[in-house]
Structure 1
Amino acid sequence: MSDASAADRPTLAVTGSTGWLGGLVARDLADRGVRQRLLVRDVTRAPDLPGSVAAQCTYRDGDAARAALEGVETLFMVSAAENEDRLAEHRAFVDAAAAARVHHGVYVSFFGAAPDATFTLARDHAATEEHLRASGMSWTFLRDNLYLEFIDQMVGDDGLIRGPAGEGRAAVVSHADIARAAVAVLLDPASHEGASYDLTGPEALTFAEMARTVSEVTGRDVRFHDETVEEAYASRAAYGAPDWQVDAWVSTYTAVAAGELDGVSDDVERLTGRRPTSLRDHLVSQRGSR
């Protein structure tokens, strides 16, 4: 990674490169020889990638963000870490990008984002999308389904996945497939202006089916316990999390129960040329790498 004058800085900016998604995207772009500007909170933590320069800013600091974004044409915007003020942070950052005259924003949103979505954080994503539409920038939205990597992490010490999801289905998608789809858009952003992509895995599964798949691949006795909403709030009370976060946790499952994460899209394959990874294939590969 190198520093550079403003005139020589890359015109593609990538946020979140110290995290899993931005990191996967930034490394893939670097492997392809694409120059990029890594926007990070701490430049000492930015990945050392060929053709990249680091610029320090946060989503909430509009002045720093605007300075970091000067000369950027395309912005890859990973959603901020979950917190009570995330929507305000998103709006401030979008405003900074518009003020810096960024041409195109590629935003990582959520499947079924809508003002009245059951999943509370999907409402914030919908509001961020609307703010981007109104910003004057062109845009592309990548609407991820639930991450399949989280499924086996949902299993408690008692072997149960607990939540009020009923027989609803989710088309869980892998981190790698999301990143590959993002890179495909960033390599040719003009071809994706005004497009929204639903990024899903190859099948929509109930949590009972997910639990059975985890059992079959890992040999553990894993089952799904369909909690009531009241049980879900009670079982999560011990974590001492704020109300907004508990609401988000529980509404993840109630959104599935409502059918709002059901539906398989071919967008990953159309963007990447590769069939998306299934939960079973992911678990098998994980066991093979240990």
Structure 2
Amino acid sequence: MTEVVAVTGASGAIGGRVARRLAERGVATRLVGRSPERLPDLPGAVKAAPAAFGDAVAMRDALAGAGTLLMVSAHEAPDRVREHITALDAAVAAGVRRVVYVSFLGAAPDATFTFARDHWHTEQHIRGTGLAYTFLRDSLYLSGLAAMAGPDGVIRGPAGDGRVSGVAHEDIADAATAVLLAQAGEHDGVTYDLTGPEALTLTEVAAELSRATGRTVTYLAETREEAFASRAGYGAEEWEVTGWVSSYEAIAAGEMATVSDAVPRLTGHRARSFADYLAAHPRAYAHLTP
């Protein structure tokens, strides 16, 4: 591959991992972010001038000369879709030809998880840009499952007995890298669900955390009203709390139970399980240990 690959979110958990994998393979990359000082120093990588998704001029300048864009979605915000659209239109104006978009499992206009709706609207815009595209629909992160348990050892939320097929950041990065390095056109127009190898109930998530920490971790099923009440002290805005609560409701609705073989098919290795993740990342549950 001789074209430049632009990577957004290169200071983050997914973009940073992908940027490092591309650098290891000698790919010329353009690292794009709001704070260039936070971007990693990598061989063959050029740090673009500061560029936020919502700044059309800055994004167009940052992406000029790139042929492919790995677009890691922006942080949740009320106007996230508008920011995505601005960045994508800037990519088109800059001459980008292909986008690999990090989306979310079950993205749909009526998805229970409110933030998943943002991803569907972004996907729809991408379809209309004329860009070649691949969508990587990630499940909840395994790190997020570990973080669901409070310091008191209780996972609280309205997930019922639903299941979630959490996925590791490492597997997402490996899959994205495989797509970016593939022959031209191989993954165009394809949507991949990126999940772990199993779908767990939150009771099973709690059991895995119990095994890893040596303390009892439990799951307490809440009603929607109880979930909003238990999060009232966080000081977050309503749209954000609604996103948190609706992620559990999406689990209850079966919208996060999909188990896909896309990770092993794309990467050549099995997807990491939650137990694998906990064994390799003890800091993920440090808040639960003495």
Equivalence for 1:154: 148
- Give matches, 1:1-290, under 5 Å: 11-56=4-49, 57-188=51-182, 190-287=185-282
Q: Is the 8 A contact 2:63 2:94 kept in 1?
A: yes
Structure 2 SS opposite 1:73: strand
For 2:44 and 2:251, locate their aligned partners in 1 and report how far apart those are by CA, in whole Å.
Answer: 42
For 1:215 and 1:286, locate their aligned partners in 2 and report how far apart those are by CA, in whole Å.
Answer: 15
2:218 is matched by which residue type in structure 1?
R
Structure 1 SS opposite 2:259: coil
Aligned length: 282
Instruction: Note closer, same or farther for the CA distance 1:163–1:288 as it changes in structure 2 (3 Å cut).
Output: closer
Structure 2 length-normalised TM: 0.94
1:190 is matched by which residue type in structure 2?
G
Moved over 3 A (4+): 287-290
For 2:135 and 2:207, locate their aligned partners in 1 and report how far apart those are by CA, in whole Å.
Answer: 33
Q: Is the 8 A contact 2:3 2:68 kept in 1?
A: no
Quick check: 261-270 or 96-105, which moved more? 96-105
Structure 2 SS opposite 1:274: coil
For 1:278 and 1:241, locate their aligned partners in 2 and report how far apart those are by CA, in whole Å.
Answer: 31
The Cα shift of 1:99 comes to 1.5
For 2:29 and 2:101, locate their aligned partners in 1 and report how far apart those are by CA, in whole Å.
Answer: 17
Q: Is the 8 A contact 1:10 1:52 kept in 2?
A: no
2:269 is matched by which residue type in structure 1?
R
Structure 2 SS opposite 1:87: helix
For 1:62 and 1:152, locate their aligned partners in 2 and report how far apart those are by CA, in whole Å.
Answer: 37
1:271 is matched by which residue type in structure 2?
L
Quick check: 265-274 or 183-192, which moved more? 183-192
Instruction: Note closer, same or farther for the CA distance 1:231–1:271 as it changes in structure 2 (3 Å cut).
Output: same
- Aligned residues with identical type, % of pairs: 56
1:204-252 deviation digits (Å, cap 9, x = unpaired): 0000011011112221210000000000000011111111101000000
The Cα shift of 1:272 comes to 0.1
1:133 is matched by which residue type in structure 2?
R
Quick check: 113-122 or 35-44, which moved more? 35-44
Structure 1 length-normalised TM: 0.94
Structure 2 SS opposite 1:80: coil
Structure 1 unmatched ranges of 5 or more: 1-8
Q: Is the 8 A contact 2:11 2:39 kept in 1?
A: yes
1:213 is matched by which residue type in structure 2?
E
Structure 2 unmatched ranges of 5 or more: none
The Cα shift of 1:288 comes to 10
Structure 1 SS opposite 2:78: coil
Considering only aligned residues, what root-mean-square deviation do their CA atoms show, in Å? Answer: 1.6
Q: Is the 8 A contact 1:10 1:37 kept in 2?
A: no
1:163-204 deviation digits (Å, cap 9, x = unpaired): 000000010100100000000001125211001000000000
The Cα shift of 1:287 comes to 4.0
For 2:130 and 2:40, locate their aligned partners in 1 and report how far apart those are by CA, in whole Å.
Answer: 31
Structure 1 SS opposite 2:231: helix
Structure 1 SS opposite 2:40: coil
1:234-271 deviation digits (Å, cap 9, x = unpaired): 00111111111010000000000000001210000000
